[in-house]
Every structure is written in structure tokens, then in C-alpha cells.
Amino acid sequence: MPTNKHQLVAKFIFDTSYLCVPTKLLEERHSTKIDDCNVTIVLPKLDEENEGTDAQRISKAQGRTLKNKQIVTAYHVFEVTVEVAPINPVVIPEKFFDGKKRRYDLLGKDEKQLDLIGSTSIRTAIKAYALWNRLLRWKTLSPLVGRPRFDEGYPSHGELWEVGSNRFITTHNEPMEFFRGTPIQLKVWNEIGRLFSKGNEPPIFLDLYSDARFHLTNNDYRRTVVDLAVACECFLRMQIESRIPKNLPQRMSNHLSDATISKVREVFFPEILDAHERDSLKKIASTLAELFTKRNNIMHDGYVADLQKGDCDRYVKAAVALFEIKRIKKRKM
């Protein structure tokens, strides 16, 4: 049977959400290497709008009028293509290029290699797409990008009735719009591409912070508090850890690592700050202490009484202020 080596690429369509890009970024791509494959994520083309159809991959988000002509400046993106190309060519029998579909149980041993490549490729695509979304959320400061749409299935109208007589009064017809896209700036898009190409991940505390913001959007206040507190604790401990010399005696290093979060927050962390940074920490100290107390209550009892959205909003602001106090340094040698 004639065979030749062929360079393959597997293409997958991924649904995305809460992603908005300027028109000039359509068809742009980000690339990286994962699992011995070249992986590329491609934005849709301008001609893939197909408004009002199931094939709609983008829709108009923003525009402006120039000389009586409407110009679209940004689009919502609903799908992206993830291409996975194994680095090494693959031996494929020529009969597979006849366009026919074949039952897996009728394939020979060597031919089943193609099915294995497909299975491996989709796992690689999922891994790459997940990393790309995390980088998008980090650099765009949007916790919703790539998340499941929580507004699908929500009502677009409601009816008012009189209780008792069951008389209809009126229909409330105000569509609920939960998201207005802010187009990604070109500079941010390029930075995401640079990080993606190197396989870099967001700092773990920012991943957790993004998760907390997502839970807050869903009015899930308990998980907001838990993820936000863990994000702050990670940040504080990473700050201390980054300043521990590698030649520090193990017993002293263990003492710092095993310290309670209250000691880290109140004793160790202030010691690495200058006077201005300590003043900034004092302004949020009571809110951070409250956040950690609420986290402990939830972890120990499973709930916390009277937790409101306003409380979570305060905790989010305190976390942002904490992250801005000091950048994490590379560990001293």
C-alpha cells in the first residue's frame, strides 16, 4: 500500500464568551508549542459575521459614523479556531485521501495511529485554549472572558399580575444586558501573544482573584470570599518567600513557611515594606482581617451569616490595593 509522510494539522472550533476585539484584530493569531505540537489560536474573519444565523461567529460591538457611513470598530467574538500541528510528519496510507469515512473497528493497527493523533490533538487544543483564556483574563482585567455564559436562559421580559384576582396588568419588556465588551488594545493583545508563545501562566494569586470576581458576578458570595482570601494569602506568602535567601537555615525557613496568615499579614509582611507602603497596608488592614475571618467561618462551618454583595465589593477593592503595594521579587540567592 503506497504511503508517504505528511505534515498534519487538526482544527477545532471552540465557543468563547465575553471576548471583544477591535476590527483590525480579526484573523489575528497567537501561537505556542505544547506537547510536541505547534498550536495556533485564530480569530474569525470579517466575513464570518453571518448575522442572525447559527453560523454567526462574530457580531458588531462598537462603531462610529464617518461621512454618513457607519464603520464597525469592534466585534464580539463567539468562536475561535484552535489548530494543533504535530511537529513530526506522520506516515499515512494514500487511501486515506479519498475523502471516505471509515469505521474505527475496521482500521488496521498502523491506521489507528490517526485516531490516536486526533485524540491527542484535542487534549492539546483544550490545554492551549484554557491557558489562552487565563492570559486573556489576566491582561484584560476581565474575569468573564472564556467563562460559561451565566446570562443564557435568563428572561428578557416579565409580567405583572394582581394577586388574588389574577388579573393581568402589564408586560415588562426590558432586555437584560450583563456585558458590554471593551475591545482589547493592540498592546495588550501583543503582550498576551508573547506570554502565550512562551507558555507562561498568570501568577496563581491572579488566577484565584479572577475566579473570585467571576463568582461575585454570579452572586456566589461564599466562593468569592474563599477564592479572594486564598488569592491574598498566596500573594502575601509569595512576597515573603521571594525574600528568603536560599542559604537560610532550614529551621528558620520552615518557621516562616509554617506561620499563620495573621502573623504573615501583621508581622512579616510589614517588615519588607517602606514607610509609604506600610501606610497603604494600614488603610486596608481591617478589611483584610475581616476577609480572612469570613473565609475561616465558611471553611469551618460551611456558611457565614449576613454576607452581602457590598461586603464582597469591599474585599475586592482591598485585594486590588494589596496587590498594588509591592511587586513580587525574584528569590535572593
The pLDDT of residue 135? 97
The pLDDT of residue 108? 64
Cβ atoms of 285 and 270 closer than 8 Å: no
User: Residue 158 pairs with which residues in a beta bridge?
Assistant: 172
In order of 54, 74, 181, 185, the CA distances from 66 in angstroms are: 31, 15, 22, 22
Low-confidence ranges of the chain (pLDDT < 70): 1-3, 50-55, 95-96, 99-112, 150-156, 173-181, 327-333
Three-state secondary structure string covering the chain? CCEEEECCCEEEEEEEEEEEEEHHHCCCEEEEEECCEEEEEECCCHHHCCCCCCCCCEEEEEEEEECCEEEEEEEEEEEEEEEEEECCCEEEEHHHHHCCCCCHHHCCCCCHHHHHHHHHHHHHHHHHHHHHHHHHHHHHCCCCCCCCCCCCCCCCCEEEECCCCCCEEEEECCCCCCCCCCCCCHHHHHHHHHHHHHCCCCCHHHHHHHHHHHHHHCCCHHHHHHHHHHHHHHHHHHHHHCCCCCCCCHHHHHHHHCCCHHHHHHHHHHHCCCHHHHHHHHHHHHHHHHHHHHHHHHHHHCCCCCCCHHHHHHHHHHHHHHHHHCCCCCCCC
The pLDDT of residue 74? 94
The pLDDT of residue 333? 38
The pLDDT of residue 174? 57
The pLDDT of residue 331? 45
pLDDT in tens, 239-265: 988 887 777 777 777 777 778 888 888
